[in-house]
């Protein structure tokens, strides 16, 4: 494929994402969330124009490659709130550890309850991990990368929708607790949503997301054998 065509798909993706963000900001409807509307709109465009996914991905893969650098860019607000992060290091670490263990135990329970095959189970275990690490670990333990990506996407959508509701219903006032909840349960999407609550919850969520990702990187390969 020509560089021009690949660039066209990149521009198309960015425009669709930008349009979905504007629509969501205007009408505040769950269906218009960029995490939902963007992939649906792109799939519709590809289907209507009869463009194979492999052709589109010649451009789309460059955007996927930027997920890692975008995650690293979250270090900027972390630096700005370094003093606060140090002050609450124990609470953040304990919260992330508890959230990671609870989420992993729930995933293991689902795998065993429904007798999921090993590849599917390994893919599900990584659902709450940021995409670059989830895909890397999925390949290491025998998961299916495409399924892992789908589970990560679904987790992000549910986390951004349910997280703020849980915070509201349970009346969580602590910005630290809000950030830990969003970052450890919904990875990058949760951290992005947490910034809508404020700079402090967003920074805490970014740290929580990274800590949770590191736990998954080192521990999921060890516990994956218990999933099936």
* pLDDT tens digits, 34-91: 888 998 999 999 999 999 988 888 887 888 777 777 767 766 777 777 888 889 999 9
Question: Global pTM?
Answer: 0.81
Average pLDDT over residues 99-111: 92
* pLDDT tens digits, 137-174: 888 888 888 899 889 989 998 998 899 999 999 999 99
Domain locations along the chain? 3-65, 75-226
* pLDDT tens digits, 177-193: 999 999 999 988 899 88
Please give the Cα distance from 165 to 168 (Å, whole number): 5
């Amino acid at each position: 494929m020509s560089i021009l065509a690949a660039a066209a798909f990149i521009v198309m993706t960015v425009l669709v994402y930008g349009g979905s963000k504007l629509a969501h900001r205007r009408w505040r409807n769950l269906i218009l969330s960029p995490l939902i509307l963007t992939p649906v709109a792109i799939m519709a465009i590809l289907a209507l124009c009869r463009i194979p996914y492999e052709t589109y991905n010649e451009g789309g893969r460059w955007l996927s490659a930027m997920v890692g650098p975008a995650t690293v860019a979250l270090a900027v607000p972390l630096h700005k709130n370094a003093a606060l992060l140090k002050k609450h290091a124990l609470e953040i670490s304990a919260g992330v550890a508890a959230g990671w263990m609870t989420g992993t135990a729930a995933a293991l329970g689902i795998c065993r309850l429904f007798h999921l095959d090993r590849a599917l189970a390994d893919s599900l275990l990584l659902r709450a991990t940021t995409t670059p690490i989830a895909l890397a670990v999925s390949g290491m333990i025998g998961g299916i990368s495409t399924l892992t990506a789908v589970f990560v996407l679904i987790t992000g959508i549910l986390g951004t929708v349910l997280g703020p509701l849980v915070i509201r219903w349970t009346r969580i006032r602590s910005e630290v607790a809000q950030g830990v909840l969003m970052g450890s349960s919904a990875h990058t999407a949760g951290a992005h949503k947490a910034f809508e609550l404020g700079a402090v919850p967003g920074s805490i969520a970014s740290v929580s997301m990274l800590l949770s990702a590191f736990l998954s990187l080192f521990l999921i390969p060890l516990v994956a054998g218990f999933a099936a």
